[in-house]
Amino acid sequence: MKRTLVALAALAFAGTAIAQGASFADIDADQSGDLTYAEVTAVAPEITMEAFSAADADRNGSLSEAEFAVLAGSGG
Ligand SMILES: [Ca+2]
Ligand SMILES: [Ca+2]
């Protein structure tokens, strides 16, 4: 079942370290206030550049807390 979820996790963070409780501040290793792809994949290596780029709404190459919230599905 976990293998089936890997493909989905790449799109929605479901079942990842992030979904399991890693917060924005935890992931922002250099405390710059945004998350680079390297920072995200350090805790969630299954996240693809495609998924990261899709969440990067302003295309600046990093995720703001708001962009990250969308990707992490924090609406619930
Ligand atoms: Ca950072
Ligand atoms: Ca961005």
Q: What is the pLDDT of residues 11-42, one digit of tens each?
A: 555 556 666 667 899 999 999 999 999 999 99
Q: Distance, CA 69 to ligand 1 centroid (Å)?
A: 15
Residue 75's pLDDT band, with cuts at 50, 70 and 90, is: very low
Cα distance between residue 72 and residue 20, in whole Å: 11
Q: Distance, CA 47 to ligand 2 centroid (Å)?
A: 16
Which ligand has the shortest distance to the CA of 70? 2
Cβ atoms 41, 18 nearer than 8 A: no
Domain spans, the chain: 2-72
Pick the CATH number of 2-72 from 2.60.40, 1.10.238, 3.20.20, 3.30.1490: 1.10.238
Which ligand has the shortest distance to the CA of 27? 1
Q: What is the structure's pLDDT at 11?
A: 52
